[in-house]
Amino acid sequence: MDRSGDPSALADLIGHRLSTRSGGLYRRLADEIAALIGSAELPVGSRLPAERRLADSLAISRSTVVAAYDELRARGLVESRRGSGTTVARAAGRGRSRSDKQMPAGYGESLFHRITVGPGEVISLTYAVDPGLPELSSELIELASDELPALLGDVGYHPRGLPVLRERIAEHFTEAGLPTSPDEIVVTTGAHQAIALATQMYLRNGAAVAIEQPSWPGCFDLFGAAGGRVVGVPLDDAGIRPDLLEAAFAEHQPAMLFVMPTFHNPTGRLMSANRRRQVAELAARHRVVVVEDNAYSAWDPAGPEIPPPLAAYAPDDAEVLTIGSVSKAVWGGLRIGWIRTSRPLAERLARHKALADLGSPLIDQALTARLLPRLTELTSARARLATVRKKLMGELLTERLPDWEWSPPTGGSALWVRLPDTDARVFAQVALRHGVEVVAGQAMDPSGAHNDYLRVPFAYSEQVLDDAVTRLSRAWQELRRHGPGPGVPVV
């Protein structure tokens, strides 16, 4: 993807690190762009954004960008010509290794680039995850004592998954209202790999995939890498809108529908049972494969009941892949997920899984098998804590940022917040300079329909939430009072 000259993409890549460097702002900006040139993220001949456009994207003054470009020209890294703008100079590429492969996402704006860079010296609200459950320690010790000798005697390759784990997952689905047998299960390395395997099976270059609008940022990377064409369908309080979904099916004839019925990311909405039935029947009628991701399924017993998976409402001839995971509910480091589908499709998925890695880590699978019978018990306590934190975050925002608007989510771990009359990407750059990192709505809806939204997770301690909202409030006051400016020290 050629993103040459795209100010928003460049701002996404350097904005976080710009806030953590010391020294004059123009020199920090020059140093960051120089680092991208040196690593070949900005190859020879790449056109840099116009000064004013980059200034707007970074929420800094144009004079700061002009000074940074002057500094880069003095170093011989860029050159400017009337009518052609500013480009990376040929001399900047000398001595660079050709073996270093860069991420193919143009300036690295991908969600996964943010993960590899790390949060730095700011409060990062880019992750909506909790630390591992304390029960993991005792279960792991018991596993080493009771099962490790037998596991070490195993061949270690189970593309479909460890048999005992597939049995436990099947029992888990059956208890949730979706009768399932072990041979309808394929174990994966997290929900992410499950979505990737489904993508490999169903998407070809140019094929359309219908998704909820907004949606999880990672799906855009996965579907785009496969050459898929994303078609967004808006939501209402009950889930994806069936009238607009049917129109999208008729117009675009997608190969696949990707939905998150249980605590949708980022809105936290819970798709109703009736809506699940409507979506399943619509997809079957139009012969569209449904991939439902229910990884965000931790349930507060005091909250509303969670309907069975969408697959439970599907006609017999429908193709539905139901994805689950323990990574969100138990610990992000326990990279075990699964796909539940028909036996023939499970066999096809297992072949793709074998080509990918021959099977997920055996000890992780054995640990997950021990946890699954207690999964609802273990995660309900975490879900109750999430309810408390959600209430606290709402109170903090109401008190300190009364202009902001949001609807309380049914579940999940984040608020989907609307900023009145404001481009959230511009605000995100100001917030970085106040020491807090947030994800703007465009990352979850590239169509532009949610450019004024932020995803604000509340999966943090009370003190971190208090500090984060204080910094967000100061950033908001600066933006409202002065507009994008040359920046302030990190708080």
24 pLDDT exceeds 70? yes
The 3-class SS string of 323-347 reads EEECCCCCCCCCCCEEEECCHHHHH
> Alpha-carbon distance 375 to 329, whole Å?
8
Tell me which of 360, 375, 390 is where a domain ends.
375
For residue 379, the model assigns a pLDDT of: 83
Q: Judge if 52 and 174 occupy the same domain.
A: no
392 and 356 within one domain: no
Tens of pLDDT, residues 278-301 = 999 999 999 999 999 998 877 777
pLDDT at 127 over 70: yes
Tell me: pLDDT of 338 over 70.
yes
Q: How confident is the model at residue 94 (pLDDT cuts 50, 70, 90)?
A: low
In angstroms, what CA-CA distances link 285 with 249, 279, 317, 340?
Answer: 10, 10, 9, 21
139 and 74 co-located in one domain: no
pLDDT of residue 17: 59
**Predicted confidence (pLDDT) at residue 420 exceeds the cutoff of 70:** yes
Contact 9, 27 (CB under 8 A): no
Nearest to 456 by CA among 475, 476, 436, 474: 436
319 and 175 together in one domain? yes
- Residues 210 and 225: their CA atoms lie apart, in Å, by 16
Which pLDDT score is estimated for 488?
37
Residue 404 clears pLDDT 70, i.e. is over it: yes
Answer whether residue 383 shows pLDDT above 60: yes
Q: What pLDDT sits at residue 433?
A: 87
- Does one domain contain both 195 and 220? yes
Q: What is the number of domains present in the chain?
A: 3
Q: What is the token pair recorded at 476? A: 């908001």
Instruction: Decide if pLDDT at 303 tops 70.
Output: yes
Task: Specify the pLDDT at position 232.
Answer: 97
Q: What is the CATH number of the domain that holds 99?
A: 1.10.10.10
* 70-88 pLDDT, tens digit each: 889 888 899 988 877 899 9
The label of the residue with tokens 């880019």 reads 126
Same structural domain, 73 and 162: no
Whether 203 maps to a domain, the answer reads: yes
* Interval 58-73 mean pLDDT: 86
Q: Are residues 328 and 208 part of one domain?
A: yes
Question: Which residue in 151, 130, 169 sits closest to 368, CA to CA?
Answer: 169
Alpha carbons 322 and 290: distance in angstroms, whole number: 8
Q: How confident is the model at residue 41 (pLDDT cuts 50, 70, 90)?
A: confident
Q: Which domain range does residue 396 map to?
A: 124-132+377-482
Q: Does the CA dihedral 440-444-448-454 come out positive or negative?
A: negative
Mean pLDDT for 167-172 is: 98
pLDDT at 138: 94
pLDDT recorded at residue 36: 86
- Asked if residue 266 is part of any domain, the answer here is yes
Domain boundary among 322, 355, 375: 375
Determine the pLDDT at residue 113.
Answer: 42
* 367 in a structural domain: yes
Is the C-alpha dihedral spanning 157, 160, 163, 169 positive or negative? positive
Q: What percent of the chain has pLDDT over 90?
A: 64
pLDDT at 93: 65
Least confident of 127-136, 266-275, 314-323, 437-446: 127-136
Are 299 and 416 within one domain? no
Same domain, yes or no: 168 and 128: no
Report yes or no on 490 lying in a domain. Answer: no
Q: Which of 329, 357, 375 is the last residue of a domain?
A: 375
Q: b/e map of 167-201 (b: 16 or more CB within 10 Å)?
A: bbbbebbeebebebebebbbbbbbbbbbbbbbbbb
pLDDT at 66 over 80: yes
Among 71-85, 87-101, 364-378, the minimum mean pLDDT is found in: 87-101
pLDDT, position 103: 37
- The CATH number of the domain holding residue 219 is 3.40.640.10
* Interior angle at CA 118, CA 117 and CA 121, nearest 5: 120
Residue 489 above 50 pLDDT?
Answer: no
Q: Is residue 302 part of a domain?
A: yes
Identify whether residues 472 and 342 lie together within a single domain.
no
187 vs 155, which has greater pLDDT? 187
Same domain, 299 and 412: no
Q: For position 321, what pLDDT does the model report?
A: 98
Co-location of 354 and 411 in the same domain: no
- Tokens describing residue 440: 């703007």
Residue 116 has a pLDDT of 39
Is there a contact between 387 and 408 (Cβ–Cβ < 8 Å)? no
Which pLDDT score is estimated for 21? 54
Q: How does residue 161 score in pLDDT terms, banded at 50, 70 and 90?
A: very high
Report the C-alpha gap between 131 and 15 in whole angstroms. Answer: 27
The answer to whether 314 and 280 have CB atoms below 8 angstroms apart is yes
Distance separating alpha carbons of residues 123 and 104, to the nearest angstrom: 28
Percent of the chain with pLDDT over 70: 89
Q: Calculate mean pLDDT across residues 109-134.
A: 65
Q: What is the mean pLDDT of the chain?
A: 87
Q: What digits encode the pLDDT tens for the residues 390-401?
A: 999 999 999 999
Query: Please, which residues have CB within 8 angstroms of residue 170's CB and are 6 or more apart in sequence?
Result: 180, 181, 182, 184, 185, 340
Reported confidence tier of residue 23, pLDDT bands at 50, 70, 90 = low
CATH of the domain at 466: 3.90.1150.10
Residue 58: the pLDDT is: 80
d(CA 303, CA 287): 35
Least confident of 318-327, 372-381, 394-403: 372-381
